Amino acid sequence: MRFDIITIFPNILDSYFNESILKRAGKNGLVEIKTHNLRDFTDDKHHKVDESPYGGGPGMVFKVEPIEQAVKSVKKQAGNKKSRVILFSLRGEKFDQKIAHRLVKYDQLIFICGRYEGVDERVAEYIADEEISIGDYVLSGGELPAAIVTEAVSRLVKGVLGKHDSLEEFKGSYPVYTKPEIVKIKGKNRKVPDVLLSGDHKKIEEWRNKR
Ligand code: SAH
């Protein structure tokens, strides 16, 4: 599965993707994560990607044309893959595990990361297939949302999670403990729940389901 991230700050993401699970998945050829500098898709010699908004107001807005060029180019690079173009926006559908399961069915996800005052609305209307928000709070750009969606979706690609990584889905999340059995915290001994030391697997499963 291929992820193409269109951003004016490609370096922010490269260091994160070059570690841990995602690095291994890349090495194994299971996922391919590519960042693209939006400024490479301008005709303008100053590589200008933004303009002030019509109607006035503070801030700058990403222009349509460089984004259209970038999307066209990364679609072409991937060949005729089943792709989905996603714009990160505060007005988008709220991201969750269900959306991650829906997105893992595509061969290529193309992410458009906004900045400043946002992106010319015609990108949402005519270029993106959908808009996603990662939550009701305002970030300075779509780069962290892109990293979050990339990681949540790649974990669902078959073979990406190794035997040391948890397969647990959000709804099956339960409290976990590890050694030592008793530890002093703020002057008091704190012990691992007895049931987890009982060796009774049926009881342990019941306890985990309840929690
Ligand atoms: N005043 C703008 C704020 C844009 S924030 C507005 O009200 O829309 C700049 C960019 O960051 C956005 O275009 C979007 O791409 C990204 N962004 C910020 N917060 C986000 C969130 N919670 N989820 C997804 N993208 C977000």
| Amino acid, res. 194 | D
**Average pLDDT score over residue span 194-205:** 97
Residue of minimum CA distance from atom 24 in ligand 1: 133
| DSSP bridge pairs for 191 | 182
Q: How confident is the model at residue 136 (pLDDT cuts 50, 70, 90)?
A: very high
- Structural domain 2-154, CATH architecture: 3-Layer(aba) Sandwich (3.40)
User: Quick one: tokens of 171?
Assistant: 């709804």
The residues, ordered by sequence, that sit 6+ positions from 135 with a Cβ below 8 Å of its Cβ are 94, 95
Residue of minimum CA distance from atom 15 in ligand 1: 114
Q: Which residue did the predictor score with more confidence, 211 or 98?
A: 98
**Average pLDDT score over residue span 163-185:** 80
Is the Cβ atom of 118 under 6 angstroms away from ligand 1?
yes
Domain boundary assignment for the chain: 2-154, 174-210
Is the Cβ atom of 133 under 6 angstroms away from ligand 1?
yes
Q: How confident is the model at residue 176 (pLDDT cuts 50, 70, 90)?
A: very high
Is the Cβ atom of 139 under 6 angstroms away from ligand 1?
yes
Question: Mean pLDDT lowest for which of 81-90, 93-102, 168-177?
Answer: 168-177
- pLDDT for res 53: 97
Is the Cβ atom of 62 under 6 angstroms away from ligand 1?
no
- pLDDT for res 20: 73
Is the Cβ atom of 53 under 6 angstroms away from ligand 1?
no
Contact 20, 150 (CB under 8 A): no
H-helix segments, 80-193: 97-103, 121-126, 143-154
Give the integer Cα–Cα distance in Å for 102 and 119: 25
Is the Cβ atom of 90 under 6 angstroms away from ligand 1?
yes
Q: How many whole angstroms from 92 Cα to the centroid of ligand 1? A: 10
Question: Mean pLDDT lowest for which of 10-24, 31-45, 60-74, 130-144?
Answer: 10-24
Q: What is the pTM of this model?
A: 0.93
Ligand 1 site-directed mutation target among 88, 112, 149, most atoms within 8 Å of CB: 88
- pLDDT for res 19: 85
**Average pLDDT score over residue span 85-104:** 98
**Exposure letters 88-119 (e unless 16+ CB within 10 A, then b):** bbeebeebeeebbeebbebebbbbbbbbbebb
Residue 68 has pLDDT above 80, yes or no: yes
**Average pLDDT score over residue span 118-132:** 98
